A and B are shown apart, each in its own frame.
Chain A
Amino acid sequence: MSSEAEPDLREALLAAVPGLRAFAISLAGQVDRADDLVQDTLLRALSNLHRFEQGTNLNAWLFTILRNLFHSEYRKRRREIEDPDGSYVGRLKVHPAQGVHLDFEDFRSALAELPDDQREALLLIGASGFSYEEAAQICGCAVGTIKSRVNRARQRLAGMLKVDDVEDLGPDSMTRAALQG
């Protein structure tokens, strides 16, 4: 690794931040916590750069780090607050940081109700643009497991958001209400 590579690396890492943040916010449900996750991810990546294979997918590598940090922190918290059945986590809603405006409240709440494994699979496939193979690598599971999680996530979301019942669904219920009013 040469010093000449550093500015490129800085640009590459910086370019990855919006995607990492979007994933972290959707995963953790809280902007502040998500930003801590992203920061820890960047620090971890920088101190483990020697493990990154040049020419492979930097984004997938960063997402793997973030995802693992999220899960180890989640397990730690769950032990700390003695929440073996995850009921505390089930009550987590999105709390935007001050000054950060978040839309799609209905969708976001429904997303927060999904089990972690289904939510992360859906986010990686449906939003972050990873292939099933990449998502399986990031989550450390089989491709078939990812497919099945994504399917179940979509089903549950459809049930919660009742997309089956609504003919002309807008971006969210507020839009729908506005159109009807």
Chain B
Amino acid sequence: MTVDKGNKLARVVHDSSSGRKLATDPKLDSSSQKRIGDQLRAMYDELMQQPVPDRFKELLDQLEKKNGGKGAAQ
């Protein structure tokens, strides 16, 4: 009986110190991993820099007006 594939405990162990690849959990080499990470963050940064649509500011302004002076609404 082989338990290699289904051994979830092996996956939980964070293999950061050793550069060895576990047969059960093949890891990307660090440069590929870095490239994926860089692209992801670059894409995300662009999204983060989009201006906040007015609808959200208006929504939160309404909240402020509704609760203005009295804090017992919720």
Contact = CB atoms under 8 A, between A and B. Distances in A.
Q: How big is the A interface, by class?
A: 35 or more
B5 interface: no
Contacts, number: 123
Given A3-B67, A6-B67, A46-B74, A171 B42 contact: yes
Interface string A156-174: 0110010110000101100
B74 A104 contact: no
B14 A147 contact: yes
The secondary structure that dominates the B interface is: helix
Interface residues of B, number: 41
Interface string A137-154: 000001110011001001
A14 B40 contact: no
Chain A interface, >50% SS class: helix
B14 A108 contact: no
A38 interface: yes
Interface of A: 1-7, 10, 13-14, 17-19, 21-22, 25-26, 35, 38-39, 42-43, 46-47, 49-50, 100, 102-104, 107-108, 111, 122-123, 126-128, 142-144, 147-148, 151, 154-155, 157-158, 161, 163-164, 169, 171-172
Given A3-B70, A21-B47, A142-B12, 10 more contacts: A10-B60, A10-B63, A39-B55, A123-B44, A127-B43, A128-B44, A147-B11, A155-B26, A158-B36, A163-B36
Interface of B: 8-9, 11-12, 14, 25-28, 32-33, 35-37, 39-44, 46-50, 52-53, 55-57, 59-61, 63-64, 67-71, 74
